[in-house]
Structure 1
Amino acid sequence: MQYLKIKDAILEQMDAGKLTSQQKLPAERKLAETFDTTRVTLREALSLLEAEGRIYREDRRGWFISPAPLRYDPTQTLNFTNMALTQGRQPKTELVSAKLVLANKQAASLLELQSFSDVYQVNRIRYLDDRPVVYVTHYIRADMFPKLLSHDLAHSLTDIYRDHYDCMYQSVRYRIFTSSLMGSLAQALRATSGTPAMVVERVNYNHAGQLIDCDIEYWRHDAINIESVANLSR
């Protein structure tokens, strides 16, 4: 099938180092001419490469070569910034919004709250090497963190909890599933609507077993690799 040959030809260029991380591919029309094919067939090849995490698309800008994904180990306590730095990446966090709201159905369920409870909703975009890769919504118990909004919430929440509230994570519950980036989420990550996403849902507890907060992370699927080591004993 021609689209598979096109896919393999692009992979050969990548493996040979002729196409490098975050390099922009030629326009679809030019690529179709190069491979003497239709744009429909070309897009089949590009869609396969996107599904495999080898390339990504930015809305109205075209296709790019994916950098190496961030290794994400759920068993480690490193926050995003430290996780990125230890892997030689350049992280950045942008605060989108932070406000006190009534807990919606999702927040109330994850944090086991009564109806009409107050929570902080904090939305942030995280970048790797100047590329937006994850949109995070945090729901935080307002009763445990008075005046939280007075702090710089572009910084690590883990550090704010520890330094200003003497509160640290003790255990975390994860749920990981696939989804798609749509609407404002896609726009925030410069993605086209329908781009595959990896969703990491975390619920965090303190040393007393109390629920502290929860995070819902929407990752560009090519930017993350879930990786962990389990030590098994008999």
Structure 2
Amino acid sequence: MSVTSSGVPPKDRAQEGILWYIKSEGLRGGDRLMSERELAEMIGVSRTALRAAITQLISTHVLESRQGSGTYVLPSKPINIFQETYNYSDAVRRAGREPGSRLEYARLIEADEELAGRTCLAVGAPLFEMRRIRFADDEPVSIETAYVNYAICAGIESHDFATESLYDVLAAEYGVHVGHGRERISIARATAEEALLLQVEEGSPVYFERALECQSDGLPVEYLKAVILPSRYRFASNGCENGSRPKGVKSTWLTW
């Protein structure tokens, strides 16, 4: 592997140059990059290094190559920062995109042994179960199944969560606010049903997330299961304690 005099490998310098070009020119999802020759000359790298950088950025879903047309910028992916209170719609808007959701079902159930263990509630405890498909600019991003502690929000099933926000309803109608939570992320493969809902091929890699959200006093509020497309969503840590943000750093600190 060749290295420049500054100690930065040409491929890495090319990648940094492409990201700088996208940001400085204000390119957005769907915009086309200049030709490889022009871009290599502007950044000051060989076309070989540039192509390697483009390949890497395609693999991380920053760019896409269209046969016979060129290389294009993909829309920014929403990001979930672990330490901050999760709000899907806010994450999508911060990425400059429009959030949306489709309600698959909403119903009252009783906790079986598994759900009782996951929610830290008793077997038979009432739960409000809701499944939604989450979108960004009409593109499916995730399948979320929420189990809400019904004891703290009786009557919540009367709300229309095809249009309303769960956390907004909990706060406004019941005075319930999430104070902290625990999340676990693993890698899985999309089942036939999940692939159909997410509009991808069966067996496509997905994130599988489990999260338990609680009030500041530790009372369970929501247990969440989510199947998420890594090509359309990101996770990160800001290095702070749960529920806090680094001072002086905006939510856009991770752009790609």
TM-score scaled by structure 1? 0.70
Correspondence for 1:193: 202
Is the 1:202–1:216 contact (alpha carbons within 8 Å) kept by the matching residues of 2? yes
One of 180, 194, 206 as aligned partner of 2:215: 206
Taking the aligned partners of 1:77 and 1:231, their CA distance within structure 2 comes to 13
- Structure 1 residue 105 displacement after superposition: 4.1
Taking the aligned partners of 1:121 and 1:55, their CA distance within structure 2 comes to 37
Taking the aligned partners of 2:144 and 2:217, their CA distance within structure 1 comes to 26
| 1:12-31 paired onto structure 2 within 5 Å | 21=29
Is the 2:83–2:240 contact (alpha carbons within 8 Å) kept by the matching residues of 1? no
- Structure 1 residue 102 displacement after superposition: 2.1
- Structure 1 residue 212 displacement after superposition: 1.1
Higher strand share goes to which structure? 1
Correspondence for 1:165: 174
Q: Which moved more, 1:114-123 or 1:188-197?
A: 114-123
3-state SS of the aligned residue for 1:223?
Answer: coil
Structure 2: segments with no counterpart, 5+ residues: 1-14, 23-27, 32-55, 65-71, 242-256
Paired amino acid for 1:193: E
Correspondence for 1:79: 87
Matched, 1:101 2:109: yes
Q: Which moved more, 1:103-112 or 1:140-149?
A: 103-112
| 1:135-150 paired onto structure 2 within 5 Å | 135-150=143-158
Correspondence for 1:131: 139
Paired amino acid for 2:238: V
Paired amino acid for 2:172: D
- Structure 1 residue 226 displacement after superposition: 1.2
- Structure 1 residue 129 displacement after superposition: 0.9
Structure 1: segments with no counterpart, 5+ residues: 1-11, 24-47, 57-63
Paired amino acid for 1:220: L
Correspondence for 1:38: none
Is the 1:197–1:220 contact (alpha carbons within 8 Å) kept by the matching residues of 2? yes
Is the 1:203–1:211 contact (alpha carbons within 8 Å) kept by the matching residues of 2? yes
RMSD: 2.9
Correspondence for 1:110: 118
TM-score scaled by structure 2? 0.64
- Structure 1 residue 223 displacement after superposition: 1.2
Aligned residues: 187
Taking the aligned partners of 1:192 and 1:121, their CA distance within structure 2 comes to 27
- Structure 1 residue 67 displacement after superposition: 3.3
Q: Residues 92 and 230 of structure 1: is their aligned pair in 2 closer, same or farther, counting only changes over 3 Å?
A: same
- Structure 1 residue 54 displacement after superposition: 6.1
Correspondence for 1:223: 232
Q: Look at both structures and tell me which one has the larger radius of gyration over its CA atoms.
A: 2
Q: Which moved more, 1:162-171 or 1:73-82?
A: 73-82
Paired amino acid for 2:226: E
- Structure 1 residue 87 displacement after superposition: 2.1
